[in-house]
Chain A
Amino acid sequence: MSDELDYDDELHPGEDLKEVKKKELGDLSVVVDDVHITYRVFGGKRGGTAGIKPSLVSRMLEAGRPKPPVTHVKAVRGVSFTARRGEAVAIVGHNGSGKSTLLRAVAGLLPPTSGTIYTASEPALLGVNAALMPKLTGERNIVVGGLALGLNYKEVQENVQNVADFAELGDFLYLPMNAYSSGMSSRLRFAISTITTPDILMIDEALGTGDAAFRAKSTERVEMVRENAGTIFFVSHSLAQVRKICTRALWLDQGKLVMDDDVEVVADAYEVFMRNRKKARSGGKVV
């Protein structure tokens, strides 16, 4: 036991300063060891490195050669970290840095290509991406979604009305989902995925859905789920949200871990990085 605490002190110096926001640090709940995730993509062009246009000669030379049907995209490249009970870990990084992929892998939904993930319990992913069937009524989607989360049929039945009320569906509950507005269906997704309160909770940009009133309501709901969850992983582009909710942050860039530290430290550094990047871009465009 004391061994692990030593590790923790090494990995996160100064963690004890942040007692305001978090519960006490408990046991290890997640260990991620050198995880790589490679997507196989069918189709696409060979040698498609953006910016380098192949010359006419090389294009003629390559014309006859068979193109490989599969391209390998390395989304996560060797990420390792540990997390403890009571921690709220943000994962930041710009689009395509592998945040969601990493989250899915830790949730056990996307088997890593190599590397190992250890968890204390089965994590649950709270996301707006939950699979719903557009041709089914809201009611049936709630039932199927609840069963997918691992509830039994009776529990799901008891929850249908709660979920419908929370998602503010009204009479639309009995209409197929392809009749829903986009706000309505994302509210429903959110409501379904918060039926259960798992020990390890992963939130993938779930807080930006709906209008202001629903956002307030959903933030409250997440707070509630968060209170009960042991460890939280949070992916968001909103640094304000990240600072508010999390105690620690991982910064991913091109699938690699760049920084792993207290949330304020990482958020500050990331903010500076993003500002510079923005400047460089807009400057480039004007000229």
Chain B
Amino acid sequence: MSDIPQGALSPRLTSAESAKVAKAAGLRQMGVRPNLLHYIHLVWNRRSFIWNLSASKAYTKNQGSYLGQAWNILRPTLDALVFIILFGFGFRAGRDGVANIAAFIVIGTFTFSFMQGLITSGVSSIRSNLSLVRSHQFPRAVVPLSVCMTDVVLFAQKLIAMLVIVFLCGFLPGMGHVPLTWTWLLTPVVAALSGIFAMGVGMFFARLGARTPDLANIVPFFLNLLRFASGVMFSISARISPANHDTWWARIIEYQPFAVYLNLMRACFGNDPNFQMSTLMWVLAVVYAVGFFVLGFIFFWGAEETYGRE
């Protein structure tokens, strides 16, 4: 190899000189994280981008099959059916005095899958949208937010499906009736709160997952563990013996965010005396939603300048 000219370069500026020259000309340094308030403002300005991106992604998610968008509702319905057959009819012992085990499982599966989906899409959000991140300049929180919003948009349909299925479960032989009450109207509120909570967790993992792709494999494992620890398919509080009810670990199991949202969602249907709404539950639901979202957002912002780096 020949001919690469040597020493053709005029002398370069030193770093100190560069900084001085840049400052004198009023240039801004690239890739510096804006302060938090300004960052929130920037993200807010991009709200229509977030919305359009998530709506578009929601639309593409179920494209490419004959039934198309219907799969959005059919898939969780089939999932719920498997659990109803398995736990509702198969293991009769697992009923724990629940009034309508089929409705119980359906509500549990739909609600938990919603939160689970939000968190898992958060983990891989930056990596799976790397080409977008690398071709346009925008506050990076747009990416996990819009990815999570996609799930929220899709859940709107699923929620309606859930209400219908739960109502139908009331007619199953040997299971308690599910009456229509005004509290059913609160289900979107619980869904929204659980969604905000899961989005916060998703943003937390979005930062970690951007640098460590392995998390996309680890997080689902822990979420599956949580699925069983949160009482999705069987009543977890009925499994704790009365003697242990006041221990610290029993309280954690009962008042951890996933359990709170699941219980609150069940309480909205008002068909089971074991699940009643309480002020404490509502307060916790709001606190978890706001707290986790704020913390997750701030944590994500903390590495703003590094997203897109390999």
Tell me the complex Cα distance, A29–B26, Å: 9
- Asked if A131 contacts B29 (CB within 8 A), the reply is no
Chain B contacts with A in 232-259, Cβ cutoff 8 A: none
Contacts of B4 in A (CB 8 A): 253, 258, 273
Partner of A120, one of B26, B136, B308: B26
Determine whether the beta carbon of B213 is less than 8 Å from that of A153. Answer: no
Interface members, chain A 26-42 (any B CB < 8 Å): 27-31, 33-34, 39-42
Measured in the bound complex, the distance between the Cα atoms of B48 and A112 in whole Å is: 29
Chain B residues in 8 Å Cβ range of A276:
2-3
Determine which of B10, B52, B131, B136 lies in contact with A153 in the assembled complex, contact meaning CB atoms within 8 Å: B52
Q: How far is the CB of A34 from chain B (nearest CB, A)?
A: 6
For chain B, residues 4 to 28, give those with C-beta under 8 angstroms from any C-beta of chain A.
Answer: 4-5, 8-13, 15, 18-19, 21-22, 24-28
Chain A residues touching B, majority SS:
mixed
Q: How far does the alpha carbon of A113 sit from the alpha carbon of B306 in the complex, in Å?
A: 9
Stretch in A2-10, A161-169, A179-187, A215-223 touching the partner: A2-10
Contact of A224 with B by CB under 8 A: no
| Cβ proximity bits A125-165 to B, threshold 8 Å, 1 near / 0 not | 10101110101100010011001111011000000000000
**Known contacts A31-B22, A147-B53: does B29 contact A117 (CB below 8 Å)?**
yes
Partner of B9, one of A147, A257, A272: A257
For residue A176, which residues in chain B have a CB less than 8 angstroms away from its CB? 63
Please, which residue of chain A has its CB at the minimum distance from the CB of B1? A277
Q: Does A243 contact B (CB under 8 A)?
A: no
Answer yes or no: B38 CB below 8 A from chain A CBs. Answer: no
Q: Is there contact, CB below 8 Å, between B131 and A116? A: no
Q: Say yes or no: is B73 at the interface (Cβ < 8 Å to chain A).
A: no
Pairwise interchain contact A129-B25, C-beta atoms closer than 8 A: no
Q: Tally A residues with Cβ within 8 Å of B.
A: 69
Main secondary structure of the interface of B (DSSP, over half): loop
Residue of chain B at shortest CB distance from A141: B56
B137 at the interface (CB under 8 A from A): yes
B49 touches A148 (CB 8 A): yes
The answer on a CB contact under 8 Å between A40 and B310 is yes
Known: A10-B10, A82-B13. A144 touches B137 (CB 8 A): no
The answer on a CB contact under 8 Å between A125 and B26 is no
Contact A148 B132 (CB under 8 A): yes
Interface string of B45-80 (1 = CB under 8 A from A): 010110011001101100110000000000000000
Determine whether the beta carbon of B3 is less than 8 Å from that of A119. no
**B60–A135 CB distance below 8 A:** yes
- CA A108 to CA B309, docked complex, whole Å: 11
B9 touches A110 (CB 8 A): no
Instruction: Decide: A124 near B1, CB < 8 A? Known: A118-B27, A133-B60.
Output: no
- Do B22 and A135 touch (CB < 8 A)? no
Q: In the complex, which of the residues B24, B52, B60, B132 contacts A4, with contact meaning CB atoms closer than 8 Å? A: B24
Say yes or no for B30: interface residue by CB 8 A criterion.
yes
Cβ of A111 within 8 Å of any chain B Cβ, yes or no, is yes
Contact flag A33-B25 (CB < 8 Å), given A108-B30, A130-B135: no
B31 at the interface (CB under 8 A from A): yes
Known contacts A31-B22, A148-B136: A117-B5 contact under CB 8 Å: no
Q: How far is the CB of A183 from chain B (nearest CB, A)?
A: 20
The verdict on B298 contacting chain A, using a C-beta distance below 8 Å, is no
Query: Which of B2, B49, B135 interacts with A129 by CB under 8 Å?
Result: B135
The answer, yes or no, to whether B228 is at the interface (CB within 8 Å) is no
Q: How far is the CA of A12 from the CA of B8 in the complex (A)?
A: 12
Contact B18–A80 (Cβ < 8 Å): yes
Set B9, B59, B60, B132: member contacting A260, Cβ < 8 A? B9
- Nearest CB to that of A265 among chain B residues? B8
Do B21 and A28 have beta carbons less than 8 Å apart? yes
Cα A176 to Cα B63 in complex, Å, equals 10
Is the CB of B138 closer than 8 A to any CB of chain A? yes
A3 to chain B minimum Cβ distance, whole angstroms, is: 7
Cα A80 to Cα B21 with chains together (Å): 13
A129: B residues at CB distance < 8 A: 131, 135
Interface check B96, CB cutoff 8 A: no
- Residues A111 and B31 in contact, CB atoms below 8 Å apart: yes
**Cβ of A239 < 8 Å from any Cβ of B?**
no
Q: Please report the C-alpha to C-alpha distance between residue A7 and residue B213 in the assembled complex, in whole angstroms.
A: 45
- Answer whether residue A188 sits at the interface, using C-beta atoms and an 8 A cutoff: no
B134 in the interface, Cβ–Cβ < 8 Å? yes
Q: B59 touches which one: A125, A136, A259, A277 (CB < 8 A)?
A: A136
Q: A13-B10, A81-B12, A133-B56 are in contact. List 6 more A-B contacts (CB 8 A).
A: A31-B22, A106-B30, A116-B29, A119-B27, A144-B49, A147-B53
Q: Which 8 A-B pairs have the closest CB atoms?
A: A118-B22, A33-B18, A118-B27, A28-B25, A135-B60, A147-B49, A131-B132, A117-B30
9 pairs of residues in contact across A and B, judged by CB atoms under 8 Å: A28-B21, A40-B310, A82-B18, A109-B135, A109-B136, A127-B135, A135-B60, A258-B4, A272-B3
Q: A residues within 8 Å of B by Cβ?
A: 1, 3-4, 7, 10-13, 27-31, 33-34, 39-42, 80-82, 104, 106-113, 116-120, 122-125, 127, 129-131, 133, 135-136, 140, 143-144, 147-150, 152-153, 176, 253, 257-261, 269, 272-273, 276-277, 280
